[in-house]
Amino acid sequence: AAYIDAEHALDPNYAKRIGVNIDELLISQPDSGEEALNIAEMLARSNAVDVVVIDSVAALVPKSELEGDIGDAFVGLQARLMSQALRKLTSSLAKSKTCAIFINQIREKIGVMFGNPETTSGGRALKFYSSIRIDIRRTGSIKLSDGTEVGNRVKAKVVKNKMAPPFKTAEFDILFNEGISREGSILDMAIDHNIIEKRGNWMAFKEHKFNGREAARLELKQNPTLLDELEGILSKHLKSLESV
């Protein structure tokens, strides 16, 4: 995989801590948007990597803007850059086995009175060319019993999908210093499929009882045997549903 860090904000040590294999990751920190997109196109054309991540579209600054003075107006430059680059990149991706992941940020349109004022930077080209678009938002914080925040609850919604039916949603936990919580995801699925009984704030799995979701997640994290048992039962249940 390759990671094009246009924001110049990647911390390799933190990435390693949350499960990224840094030894197999190519990292580039380009100076301009043109350089970043040329690197992405070259990697896709060469078929050298399976995944190229561009982080982020908002940080892809055109060369002319970098060479200009602070305060100069550059209307539509980034949108034109993205439109031109994606015409080339789409062709290279179609002929290779490389998947390109663009990370973007939400902005607000000025003066919108009706409808949704939110938009994404970089113009409309990325929305048009993308096969799948996922809207990821923080919905709440995860706290311990003493009130300490240990992570965020996140909701992901597929807003465009050329590969499968769109508008599916999923929720999961992102924990600080750990990344996506495996225990939290297994717990949520087990509750959804009634493998774990939930009555009010209490949860029960066989002889194990938990007071609250966070208590259940911590117990699963501290008891790998229990987690493996729950995952095995859940896996068998899901396979039985697929065979029906």
Give the residue from 142, 134, 244, 137 showing the smallest Cα distance to 188. Answer: 142
Domains of the chain: 1-130 (3.40.50.300), 132-180 (no CATH), 181-244 (3.30.250.10)
Tokens of residue 171, six digits: 């929720």
> Which pLDDT value is given to residue 166?
95
pLDDT tens digit string along 80-109? Answer: 999 999 999 999 999 999 999 999 999 998
The reply to whether the predicted model has a pTM over 0.85 is yes
Helix axes 224-243, 182-192, angle to 10 degrees: 50
* 4 has a pLDDT exceeding 70: yes
> Which pLDDT value is given to residue 63?
94
Q: Torsion over CA of 181, 183, 184 and 186, rounded to 10 degrees?
A: 120
> Which pLDDT value is given to residue 79?
95
pLDDT tens digit string along 167-210? Answer: 999 999 999 989 999 999 999 999 999 999 999 999 999 899 99
* 244 has a pLDDT exceeding 90: no
Residue 209 contacts residue 189 (beta carbons within 8 Å) = no
